[in-house]
């Protein structure tokens, strides 16, 4: 009889299957920690993509800048300890360079020195205005002004995005407006909310999700306020040799040709299985929009683009139709900072669609945004997002905190100055080394693929069940166990946390591992234990035949 309290029982696993994998992980962590305490196993959590590195020079620059800002503030109200004024604009760049000259040599000092020079010479920044924005912003003594993003924060992040998102000839990227947000997750919420508030998508509309993908993109459309009719564009099928290549067949992408599909959401590179879109897929997107669905709204989440070779984002391939959500969290080891931007081309589909709305819907928007401007019709969609992020009424206090914006500037400058891609090459090498350690120790074949990024792995256990032990075993496995049993068994018996790929609209028997948050030797262990679980299933299968 099935024990419903037994975490490895089928009935218990079927109950868990109804939950998000990020909620299931709490149960997996408890099981893995319990196993580690009661056995010789080492607790290893490869379930989340939180990196185990940090970009130290940008942080060193940030804190050095903070010390300068405090000195500047203390130039005012110096008569009472613990009370200071606000940084003064006049002559601040000269005082900053004098301050840096007195500091011992360090990576942070070099970044600030070179970063100031770069911004003045390459971006046309006024030195006093830039240093004042940095000092005042890091002090956090004013509301964000402009609320969407600080002037020089935008000027610095624009060329960074152009460099990293695949348009290295884009100059300063001035063709894009940016909205600084509290990480990619806030960006997701703001995009969905404002698209609906502005009647660009309506409750029950048909939208497309490109699977596998990060679970909130699956779960948000199911909320009652949206209740979208979801079309899945799938990269899950296996090729003629029985392997996943995680690209989108033309037949799947062609689902987007239906003009009834108002919106498509994707993660590029994917999460999981961590593959960038192929050039053929990108070309297909362009063909679909130009020939059949010119009003298709594209939302691309490109947080992992910096880990891909030769990356090209849809924000530059289809700029008119695309909103890009980008987060600094993974590349710079900054998930706790909550740093991200939403990017929209200055000339875009969203403003065009709003202008074409019927009179009653325009009147509704005039009431909604009328407290902000006398000319609501001219209010850009991206600025509507800013207002919506604070329920419009609090637009005057909208915006990402200014210290967070200065931290983003330091991260972006770090990469703009890294003309030899030293940081990028190190990140790529570290991820690929861990990926190889994992797969080599599963004994599974990792087919060479230039599209593979490797930040995550999605391992379809059913593929390898068939490859190693045949179709009869695979059929037995599917009948004898719930697909979640793999993740539960790894946690309860091996002390290892991975997530179920089915929760990301991946294959039912797939598991998702992060190659970001553990050391190479840990992935050796995880690879061996994943293979051990498959072999143990096979032993049980053989025993059932006797």
* DSSP letters spanning 119-130: HHHHS---HHHH
User: In this structure, is residue 268 part of a structural domain?
Assistant: yes
Structural domain contains residue 362 = yes
pLDDT of residue 24: 81
Tell me the pLDDT tens digit for each residue of 72-131: 999 887 778 889 999 999 999 999 999 999 999 999 999 999 999 999 999 999 999 999
Look-up of token digits 């070179």: 114
Please tell me the distance from the alpha carbon of residue 322 to that of residue 195, in angstroms, as a whole number.
13
Return all residues near 345 (Cβ < 8 A) that are at least 6 apart.
175, 176, 177, 315, 319, 320, 322
Rounded CA-CA distance 6/109 in Å is: 56
Domain boundary among 101, 122, 142: 142
215 and 293, same domain (yes or no): yes
Joined tokens for residue 441: 């120790």
- C-alpha to C-alpha distance for 251 and 284, rounded to whole angstroms: 11
Nearest by Cα to 399 from 412, 420, 382: 382
Residue 266 near residue 213 (C-beta atoms within 8 A): yes
- Domain CATH code at residue 459: 3.90.1150.10
Question: DSSP code of 473?
Answer: H
411 found inside a domain = yes
Domain assignment of residue 5, yes or no: no
pLDDT score of 172? 64
- CA-to-CA distance for 290 and 318, rounded, in angstroms? 10
Per-residue pLDDT, 263 = 98
Asked if residue 16 has pLDDT above 80, the reply is: no
The alpha carbon dihedral of 355, 359, 361, 363 has a sign of positive
With a cut of 90, say whether residue 201 has pLDDT above it: yes
pTM for the whole structure: 0.94
Both 255 and 346 in a single domain? Answer: yes
Residues 75 and 161 in one domain: no
131 with 169, same domain: the answer is: no
Same-domain status, 437 and 505: yes
Q: Name the pLDDT band for 40 (thresholds 50, 70, 90).
A: low
Distance CA 179, CA 190 (A): 10
pLDDT at 4: 58
What is the domain extent for residue 243? 151-416
- Cβ atoms of 289 and 265 within 8 Å: the answer is no
pLDDT over 70, % of the chain: 98
Whichever domain contains 77, its CATH number is 1.10.20.110
Q: Are residues 133 and 245 in the same domain?
A: no
User: What is the tens place of the pLDDT at every residue in 324-338?
Assistant: 999 999 999 999 999
CA neighbor of 208 nearest in space, from 253, 240, 274, 163: 253
For residue 2, tell me if it sits in a domain.
Answer: no
| DSSP string of 479-520, one letter each residue | HHS-TTHHHHHHHHHH-EE-EEGGGGT--TTEEEEESSSS-H
Is the pLDDT assigned to residue 133 strictly greater than 90?
yes
pLDDT digits 0-9 by tens, 233-248: 999 888 888 889 999 9
Taking the C-alpha atoms of residue 349 and residue 345, their distance in angstroms, rounded to an integer, is 9
Same domain for 443 and 503, yes or no, is yes
Q: In this predicted model, what pLDDT tens digit does every residue of 409-421 receive, in sequence order?
A: 999 999 999 999 9
User: 430 and 449 in one domain?
Assistant: yes
Structural domains of the chain, count: 3
Final residue of a domain: which of 416, 441, 464? 416
The answer as to whether 3 is a domain residue is: no
pLDDT over 80 at 5, yes or no: no
Q: Which residue has the tokens 């990402």?
A: 400
Same domain, 155 and 17: no
In a domain, 124, yes or no: yes
Closest CA to 189 of 162, 146, 223: 223
CB 147 within 8 A of CB 399: yes
Domain boundary among the residues 393, 416, 439 is at: 416
Residues 395, 480 share a domain: no
CA distances from 468 to 241, 445, 471, 536, 538 (A): 14, 11, 9, 13, 10
Do 235 and 305 fall into the same domain?
yes
Q: For residue 84, how many C-alpha atoms fall within 13 Å in the half-sphere facing its CB?
A: 14
Question: What would the pLDDT profile of 263-279 be if each residue is shown by its tens digit?
Answer: 999 999 999 999 999 99
Identify whether residues 282 and 403 lie together within a single domain: yes
Tell me whether residue 276 is in a domain: yes
pLDDT at 3: 56
CA-to-CA dists, residue 79 to 82, 84, 135, 139, angstroms: 9, 9, 21, 20
- Asked whether the predicted pLDDT for residue 170 surpasses 60, the reply is no
Please check the confidence at residue 2 and state whether its pLDDT lies above 60: no
Which phi and psi (to 5°) does residue 100 adopt? -65, -40
């Amino acid at each position: 009889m099935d024990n419903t309290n037994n975490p490895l029982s089928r009935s218990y696993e079927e109950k868990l299957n109804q939950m998000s994998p990020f909620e299931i992980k709490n149960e997996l962590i408890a099981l893995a920690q319990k196993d580690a305490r009661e056995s010789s196993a080492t607790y290893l959590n490869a379930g989340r993509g939180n990196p185990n590195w940090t970009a130290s020079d940008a942080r060193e620059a940030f804190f050095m800048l903070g010390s300068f800002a405090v000195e500047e503030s203390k130039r005012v109200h110096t008569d009472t300890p613990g009370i200071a004024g606000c940084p003064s604009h006049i002559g601040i760049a000269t005082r900053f360079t004098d301050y840096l000259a007195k500091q011992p040599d360090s990576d942070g000092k070099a970044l600030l020195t070179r970063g100031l020079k770069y911004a003045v010479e390459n971006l046309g920044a006024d030195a006093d205005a830039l240093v004042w924005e940095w000092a005042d912003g890091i002090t956090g003594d004013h509301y964000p002004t402009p609320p969407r993003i600080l002037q020089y924060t935008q000027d610095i992040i624009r060329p960074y995005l152009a460099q990293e998102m695949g348009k290295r000839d884009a100059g300063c990227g001035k063709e894009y407006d940016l909205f600084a947000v509290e990480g990619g997750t806030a960006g997701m919420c703001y995009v969905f909310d404002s698209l609906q508030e502005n009647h660009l998508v309506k409750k029950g509309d048909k939208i497309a999700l490109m699977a596998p993908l990060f679970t909130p993109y699956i779960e948000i459309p199911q909320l009652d306020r949206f209740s979208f009719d979801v079309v899945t564009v799938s990269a899950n099928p296996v090729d003629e040799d029985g392997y996943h290549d995680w690209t989108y067949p033309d037949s799947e992408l062609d689902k987007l040709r239906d003009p009834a599909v108002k919106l498509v959401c994707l993660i590029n590179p994917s999460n999981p299985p961590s593959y960038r879109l192929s050039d053929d897929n990108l070309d297909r997107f362009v063909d679909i929009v130009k020939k059949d669905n010119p009003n298709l709204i594209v939302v691309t989440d490109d947080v992992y683009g910096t880990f891909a070779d030769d990356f090209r984002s849809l924000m530059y391939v289809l700029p008119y139709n695309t909103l890009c959500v980008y987060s600094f969290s993974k590349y710079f080891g900054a998930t706790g900072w909550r740093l991200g931007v939403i990017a929209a081309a200055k000339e875009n589909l969203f403003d065009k669609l709003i202008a074409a709305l019927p009179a009653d819907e325009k009147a509704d928007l005039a009431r909604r945004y009328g407290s902000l401007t006398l000319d609501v019709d001219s209010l850009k969609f991206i600025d509507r997002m800013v207002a919506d992020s604070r329920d419009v009424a609090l637009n005057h206090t909208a915006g990402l905190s200014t210290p967070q914006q200065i931290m983003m500037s330091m991260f972006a400058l770090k990469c703009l100055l890294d003309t030899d891609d030293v940081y990028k090459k190190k990140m790529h090498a570290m991820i690929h080394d861990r990926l190889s350690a994992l797969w080599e120790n599963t004994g599974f074949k990792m087919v060479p693929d230039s599209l593979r990024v490797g930040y995550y792995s999605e391992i379809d256990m059913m593929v390898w069940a068939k490859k190693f032990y045949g179709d009869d075993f695979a059929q037995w496995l599917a009948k004898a166990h719930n697909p979640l049993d793999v993740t539960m068994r790894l946690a309860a018996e091996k002390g290892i946390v991975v997530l179920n790929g089915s929760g990301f609209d991946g294959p039912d028997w797939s598991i998702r591992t992060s190659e970001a948050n553990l050391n190479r030797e840990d992935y050796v262990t995880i690879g061996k234990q994943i293979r051990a679980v498959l072999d143990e299933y096979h032993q049980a299968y053989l025993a059932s035949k006797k």
